A and B are shown apart, each in its own frame.
Chain A
Amino acid sequence: MKSRTKDKIYIVGFLLIPMVLLALFSYYPLMKLIQLSFTDWNGMSRDLKYIGIRNYQDIFSQKELFQTFGNNMAYVITALIQQIAGLFLAILLNSNIKMKTTFRAILFMPYIINGVAVAFMFNYMYDYSNSPINYILGSLGIEAVHFISNSYMTNFALSFISFWKYVGWTMVIYIAALQSIPGDVYEAARIDGAGFFQTIRYITLPNIKKMLEVSLLLSLNGALQVYFEPFLITKGGPNGRTATFISKSLELAYSYSKYGKAATMGVILLFMILVLVAVQNLFLKGDE
């Protein structure tokens, strides 16, 4: 009996602070976000004025919203290419070539470099008059390129920065998945005389299906929440050409004090990502 009361004290003692932190930084912000999304709060006033679903109506009737999602699509496409490239590199590194660990270590390295440094490094690479890339193009007799301009392609130039940083990560995840496939499966395929594409189609992909879905979900998640590159390099400009959903909502809050509307955008994106997670979980369940 005595040890049970003692245990109770330990349980409370060990869980109290973590639970308070959990409530403060996970649950409260979530509720607050939903609450703010129904107000026109400007970040200053003491009391909240509820305006119903006007923020939602406003956002869905505005062109900017769809433009920002259009910009996010560039990141989504890049994320998909990143999956293919990462898987391809993983397959190459899972063959019988030499120096595999060295190759893997080098290709993964960008992941650990400070993101601000990487963004500014590419800002330099993309510079119109000073750019090393344009210098090389020039010496090959090709006209210089405006990487950062008001065309939609600027979004791809920006999303390539995260491709450079994260493709090694994707590769490393897939290497781990590939190595969990038992070797005798391949042995059997080899004896049956399966070719490169047959082996990938019938053995590799089905065996890493779960990892494919998780990795795809994580990178789509990242592509929808991207703000970093446009925020650092273009500030969403020119004319919202490179504003993403999150960078737009941050701008609404901190530059225009439209916290209510910014919160609404947060809720919408949260909802979309949760739907994505739910769909993916359904798929995973279906497989089992």
Chain B
Amino acid sequence: MIKSKKETLKSTFIINNKPGRCLVYLLMIFGIIGVFAPLLIVLNVSLKTNEEYMMKGVMTLPENMGNISNYVRAFVEGNFITGFMNTAILVVVSVPVTIIIASLVAYTLSRFEFRARKLVYLAFLIPTFIPGMTVTIATFQVIKSLGVYNTLLAGMILYIGTDIMQIYIFLQFINNVPVSLDESARLDGAGRIRIYTSIILPQLKPAIATTVILKLLGIYNDFFTPYMYMPKIKTVATSLYSFSGDKLAEWPLMSAAIILVAIPTIIIYIFLQRHIISGVTDGAVK
């Protein structure tokens, strides 16, 4: 009872009349159809054989709902096993390293007294205003001269080295951890590293969990980095892109490849949607 009262207070509008409520639900259903229709159409086509698709077209249901032959073909011919492997390696290396580096920088900026602190803070702040796509041409030269072009290292370095926002997200969390915790640990004889591992990191847990999910989604969905800096090493996204090269007109097969690539993040989303949505809003609101 109390909870529902509170909720009503928070609402922008209280819609009491029936037509008004019906209208809102109708608009919502309209939006949901907008989200699902293209996905369901592609899913439907992906279960049809080529002949069936030629004869009956888009809208009929597949004759055999369990026809996964397009998926098998797409998976094998698109060489998606390599794509998934490479994406997994990128995630497994980049995500933890980003978390360690960003949390150490945030820890240093929050807990150490040194003269250049403001300057370092500014040095990390300024690049957040540089729009990433504009400097691609020059970043490309850096990757080439480091000798990592066309290797998995190119992706890893870029995912780690360009994620400056992460520092600010951690910094906000650490600034909320009372310094008295550090001090009492220091009295117990803990050094800087002990304080980091036993006080700071545990307090960062929720932020780290969000980072893991969002960074995983970001790397899985990224097309530009692998395409530009490691074109010979295929990730999931670039595998789909090269698969489209010669298969674009074969719609049932192409549809299966699309669903194949889309499904993993949708499954993650079904389980973690609350975390993902709150992580995204926190990142943007701050």
Contact = CB atoms under 8 A, between A and B. Distances in A.
A270 B135 contact: yes
Interface in A89-106: 89, 91-92, 94-97, 103-106
Contact of B105 (A14, A30, A175, A214): A14
Contact of A225 (B13, B127, B134, B139): B134
SS class of chain A's interface: helix, strand, loop or mixed? helix
Nearest to A29: B138
Contacts of A103: 28, 31-32
A25 B58 contact: no
A237 interface: no
Nearest to B53: A130
Given A25-B142, A96-B14, A106 B32 contact: yes
B56 to A, nearest CB: 11
A112 B277 CA distance: 10
B63 interface: no
Interface in B190-242: 191-193, 217, 220-221, 223-224, 236-238, 240-241
Nearest to A273: B131
Interface residues of B, number: 97
A114 B8 CA distance: 37
Interface string A96-134: 110000011111111111111110111111010010100
Contacts of B262: 113-114, 117-118, 121
Contacts of A218: 284
Contacts of B280: 111, 169, 172-173
A65 interface: no
Interface string B1-26: 00000111111111100000100110
Interface stretch (A15-23, A54-62, A67-75, A145-153): A15-23
Contacts of A21: 101, 157, 160-161
Nearest to A250: B136
Contact of A164 (B12, B14, B34): B34
A176 B10 CA distance: 12
A285 interface: no
Contact of A227 (B36, B129, B133, B142): B133
A32 B221 contact: no
A29 B139 CA distance: 5
Contacts of B266: 109, 112-113
Nearest to A269: B134
Interface stretch (B65-73, B88-96, B176-184, B250-258): B250-258
B258 A121 contact: yes
Nearest to B6: A183
B130 interface: yes
Interface string A159-192: 0000010001100110111110101101100100
Contacts of B175: none
A184 B146 CA distance: 58
Contacts of B237: 114-116
B284 A97 contact: no
Interface string B267-284: 011000100110011001
B189 interface: no
Contact of A32 (B123, B131, B138, B285): B138
Interface of A: 6-8, 10-11, 14-15, 17-19, 21-22, 24-30, 32-33, 36, 89, 91-92, 94-97, 103-118, 120-125, 127, 130, 132, 135, 164, 168-169, 172-173, 175-179, 181, 183-184, 186-187, 190, 196, 199, 204, 211, 214-215, 218, 221, 224-225, 227-228, 232, 246, 249-250, 253, 259, 262-263, 266-267, 269-270, 273-274, 277
A39 B170 CA distance: 41
A256 B208 CA distance: 43
12 contacts: A8-B114, A10-B193, A11-B108, A18-B102, A32-B141, A97-B21, A106-B35, A114-B261, A130-B251, A172-B280, A175-B281, A204-B12
A121 B39 contact: yes
Interface SS, B side: helix
Contact of A95 (B14, B102, B112, B132): B14
A97 B13 CA distance: 10
Contacts of B131: 221, 224-225, 269-270, 273
Given A106-B35, A116-B261, A214-B284, A246 B25 contact: no
B9 A199 contact: no
B12 A91 contact: yes
Contacts of B134: 33, 225, 246, 266-267, 269-270, 273
Contacts of B240: 114, 116-117, 120
A135 B12 contact: no
B127 A199 contact: no
Interface string B138-166: 11111000100000000001101110100
Contacts of A122: 38
Given A11-B112, A32-B141, A122-B38, 16 more contacts: A11-B114, A19-B120, A22-B123, A28-B138, A29-B142, A30-B138, A106-B31, A113-B262, A114-B220, A114-B221, A120-B240, A120-B257, A173-B285, A186-B12, A263-B137, A266-B134
